[in-house]
Structure 1
Amino acid sequence: MALAVASAGFVPDRPDLGHRAEGLDLADPAFFADSLDPAAPRLLPPAAYRTLAFAELEDDAVWTRSWLAIGLGAEIPAPGDLLPFTAGHHGLHVQRAAEGGLVGRFNKAQHGGCRAVPLQCRTGTKTRCSFTACGYSRDGAVLPAGREGPTPAMHQYLGLRPERLLPVAARAWGPMVRISLDPEAAPAEAPPDGLVARSGETRRAEYAANWKLAAQALAEGERPEHAPDSLHLSGHLATGEVAAIAVHFPNLVLIEARGETCAVILQPTALGQTLLRIGLLGRDGAEQGDLEVAWTAWLAEIAARMAPAVAAQAALTRPEADRPLPTNAAGLWLQRCIAARVRARPAATDTQPLYATAQGRGC
């Protein structure tokens, strides 16, 4: 039996065995080739939006090798405050340090082998779990520190000795927080100048669309300009107002209009589902309008932009889906970035198990 096949139990990802699904080698450059033609941009084959094997490939090539946006610095203003974020299959958190800096760590629990929810763990869907904070559970809200430091609720993330947890690079990026699981990652691009969080609040909205479809829908625009890890476009809101759009690979979309910026952080919660963490930013020193009015307008704009992504996901999920669907400039750029990272990832050569019982070692 191939280990890449999803099962009800815990099956470890094995990059050395390759990433295959629906009769295709998902890591082969040929899998991407037809979708990267600028003369006829179209979506990747349906397997890229509906198979666990491609999600495993993205974990190996994208989520563990890129600078990820996870939230606003204003969400964790006080020492000890903790912001959870699941990156691919890895449960992480960032905590505000006593001196004001940021400390990133892997969560205490990473096993993902919970047998209480066998239809969710390791089948491409995050599960709501009140017990642990592993890489297969859905993140809760920000945890504020208590008067005497970490609260009991933080134990599932910190354990008894948080200084012994595997570290994660965490950086303030303007008003936002970005992390990288790759210790050799190059520095992230410089953030936009002058942006500040309008409040420490973020709101969440979830849509039935793969994260790649969500990103391209949110970044609908034209006249693209490329930077090393970002794409900049011009466009219009549903109301007709002019907007400037920036996509920072892989999971941050900034939409600037009406003198403010809506920051949308994308986080896959299932193969065909994406959670959007949304924050509102403004220009430092600029006068801002009513915050609740702004929220209402931006959430409506996001819903309008996400409608095509939801429709595309429904079409790609059908077993008979084989007709190539078109994509926009942002989708073409995103697919090129993913293909480049798949090509650049280190080859998996170590096939030995991380753990083995005495019986398994022949002792």
Structure 2
Amino acid sequence: MALAASSAGFVPDRPDLGHRAEGLDLADTAFFADGLDPSAPRLLPPAAYRALAFAELEDDAVWTRAWLAIGLDAEIPAPGDLLPFTAGHHGIHVQREAEGGLVGRFNKAQHGGCRAVPLQCRTGTRTRCSFTACGYSRDGTVLLAGSEGPTPAMHQYLGLRPERLLPVAVQAWGPLIRITLDPGAASSEAPPAGLVALAGETRRVEFAANWKLAAQALAAGAPRATGPQSLHLTGQLATGGAASIAFHFPNLVLIEARGETCAVMLQPTALGQTLLRVGLLGGGGSSPADLEASWAAWQAEIAARLAPAVALQASLAGFGEPIVTDAAGLWLQQRIADSVHARPAPAQTQPLYATAQGRGC
């Protein structure tokens, strides 16, 4: 029996039913074929940047399978400090343990106190929710525990018994924190050597572009080497200086220039909206003479790099003819296609739960 959206109050993501939009099978090899031609790489069809069904496919194949960069280790220095992050449709957090290590968990509630995810939360846009930290609300900032331990604001993440929450694999990856929702995911690459955080914070900026367009714009350059899950390029700053770029699939871009490294962590907040968590890194013992000047320079560089992506996203309504992409775009599209085709086939075809109304009672 088909589950009616109007009766249950939500539309379940059912990978076993496939992912289709705009008359296309989004998981079919034909959908990716034109975008993976190395002789004339082109952007994926428009549905990849504007269809909720493709975002759900990415949740199934990318955001729940790969190692994701979510912040800086220096952001949560003290026991009890908590860093939230939404991975695809799943709200998680990382907390500093008493002995100094990190522990990752799914948030207390994945769908709030709504009993079912409301339709307005399933439009591909993160909702500003004052009630809970679920997989469909926007992440808050870092929560610091203070001298008395976890604060009341942390309850929406931790609940009463955080040790009973579903665990998430987490690692300190150099100065960064990475997580994965896939217990079988291997950490295939070593972190960049010799980098430390120049500031114990990340700054956030949002752009009106799909995360794939934003990522390839940030990583624009000439390819020079590849790793198991990374692409290394040489590029140029908007001001004319040389830059070395490392794109770690799926959501981390490191731009090295002027004796510093800007770490940009991407997070979709809507189909056509991407939040960037930006951190400043440098060599051990080094620090910029004027940290605010460094922040301003990198923010200007990011804005300049993202301008073409924002313009391209705005043109999606008339996005009919194939659009040429660059080496970073081709590499990213290949990684996404590989992830889609490598995901395990769903073994369970029944919803995990349903409301009484949704069962037709």
Map residues 211-230 of structure 1 onto 2, 5 A cutoff.
211-230=211-230
* 8 A Cα contact 1:82 1:93, kept in partner: yes
Q: Which stretch shifts more, 286-295 or 300-309?
A: 286-295
Contact in 2 for aligned 1:112/1:121 (Cα 8 Å): no
> What's the CA shift for 1:166?
0.2
Corresponding residue number in structure 2 for 1:282 = 282
CA distance in 2, matches of 1:263, 1:273: 19
Alignment partner, residue 34 of structure 1: 34
Query: What secondary structure sits across from 1:225 in the alignment?
Result: strand
Q: Is 1:200 aligned with 2:200?
A: yes
Partner SS, residue 39 of structure 2 = coil
Bigger drift between 14-23 and 307-316 goes to 307-316
User: 1:231 is paired with a residue of what secondary structure?
Assistant: strand
CA distance in 1, matches of 2:354, 2:126: 27
Contact 2:207 2:275 in 1 (8 A): yes
Secondary structure at the aligned position of 2:53 is classed as: helix
**CA contact 2:198–2:287 (8 Å) conserved in 1:** no
TM-score (normalizing by structure 2): 0.95
Q: What TM-score do the two structures reach when normalised by structure 1?
A: 0.94
The reply on whether 1:101 has 2:90 as its aligned counterpart is no
Quickly say closer, same or farther: Cα 1:157–1:296, change in 2 above 3 A.
Answer: same
Closer/same/farther in 2, CA of residues 5 and 23 from structure 1, 3 Å limit = farther
Question: C-alpha offsets along residues 300-352 of structure 1, whole Å, 9 cap, x if unaligned?
Answer: 00000000000111112x0x421011111101000000000000000013112
Q: Name the CA distance, whole Å, in 1 between partners of 2:34 and 2:111.
A: 37
* Equivalence for 1:268: 268
- Give the aligned length: 361
Indicate conservation of the 8 Å contact 2:109/2:132, yes or no: yes
Show the counterpart of 1:153.
153
Structure 1 segment 63-78 matched on structure 2, within 5 A: 63-78=63-78
Give matches, 1:1-363, under 5 Å: 9-111=9-111, 114=114, 118=118, 120-316=120-316, 318=317, 320-356=318-354
Q: Which runs of structure 1 show a deviation greater than 3 angstroms over 4 or more consecutive aligned residues?
A: 1-9, 112-120, 356-363
Tell me if the contact between 1:6 and 1:122 (Cα under 8 Å) persists in the aligned partners: no
After superposition, the Cα gap between the structure-2 partners of 1:5 and 1:283, relative to the gap in structure 1 and judged at 3 Å, is farther
* CA spacing shift, 1:361–1:275, aligned 2, 3 Å: closer
Structure 1 pair 356–313 and aligned structure 2 pair: CA distance change class (3 A): closer
Deviates more, 1:27-36 or 1:352-361: 352-361
Deviation at 1:3, TM superposition (A): 6.8
1:227-271 CA-to-partner distances (Å, cap 9, x unmatched) read 110000001101111000000000000000000000000000000
SS of match in other structure, 1:61: helix
Structure 1: state its 5+ residue gaps: none
Q: What displacement does 1:106 show? A: 0.1
Q: 1:151 to 1:321 in 2, by over 3 A?
A: same
Do the aligned partners of residues 99 and 214 (structure 1) sit closer, same or farther apart at CA in structure 2, a change above 3 Å counting?
same
Q: Do the aligned partners of residues 36 and 358 (structure 1) sit closer, same or farther apart at CA in structure 2, a change above 3 Å counting?
A: closer
Q: Hey, what's the Cα distance between the residues in 1 that align with 2:351 and 2:339? A: 25
* Structure 2, unpaired ranges of 5+: none
Identity, in percent, stands at 80
The alignment partner of 2:297 has SS state of helix
Asked if the contact 2:3/2:358 (under 8 Å) is kept, the reply is no
Contact persistence 1:232–1:245 (CA under 8 A): yes
Residues 113, 131 of structure 1: CA spacing in aligned structure 2 closer, same or farther, 3 A cutoff? closer
The 2-side partners of 1:245 and 1:359 are apart by 52
Cα-Cα RMSD: 2.4
Q: Measure the CA separation in 1 of the matches of 2:150 and 2:132.
A: 16
